[in-house]
Amino acid sequence: MFSSARELASKLREACYIIDPVVLEVVYLAARMHKPLLVEGPPGSGKTELAYGMAAAAGTVVERLQCYVGITEEKVIGNFDEALQKLYLETQAANLNQDNIAFLPPLFRTTLSG
């Protein structure tokens, strides 16, 4: 994604985000290792802006979810409909590449290869 911390800092500057050198190193290493990063802090400390800056630097978007007491997985992502997922994969098989197929559950891999 980023070849160096310097490249990341440059892309963040282009996205109008100024980053602390320590935070830059942590964010760069997490991106380099393809690992998630948990960012904590009080309201207004810049957690969301860091996410927006990183997304802009990486050429992607932020999917934001406001969590609160009582929110459940079903409320966030809805019900999983296996038949509907299978139908989607069958109709979109030509658009999926082998890298994407490797991450699918076995049931769906056999659907696409069979």
> For 72-100, how does the pLDDT look when each residue is reduced to its tens digit (9 = 90+)?
877 777 767 778 878 877 787 777 665 55
pTM strictly above 0.85: no
Containing structural domain, residue 89: 74-113
- Is residue 68 included in any domain, yes or no? no
Percent of the chain with pLDDT over 90: 50
**Domain count across the chain:** 2
- Is residue 53 included in any domain, yes or no? yes
- Is residue 46 included in any domain, yes or no? yes
Q: Looking at the predicted structure, is the pLDDT value of residue 111 above 70?
A: no
d(CA 112, CA 85): 12
- Is residue 26 included in any domain, yes or no? yes
Residues 51 and 81 in one domain: no
Q: Looking at the predicted structure, is the pLDDT value of residue 53 above 80?
A: yes
Instruction: Tell which residue, 49, 1, 59, has the closest CA to residue 23.
Output: 49
- Is residue 66 included in any domain, yes or no? no
On average, the pLDDT of the chain sits at 83
- Is residue 19 included in any domain, yes or no? yes
d(CA 9, CA 25): 10
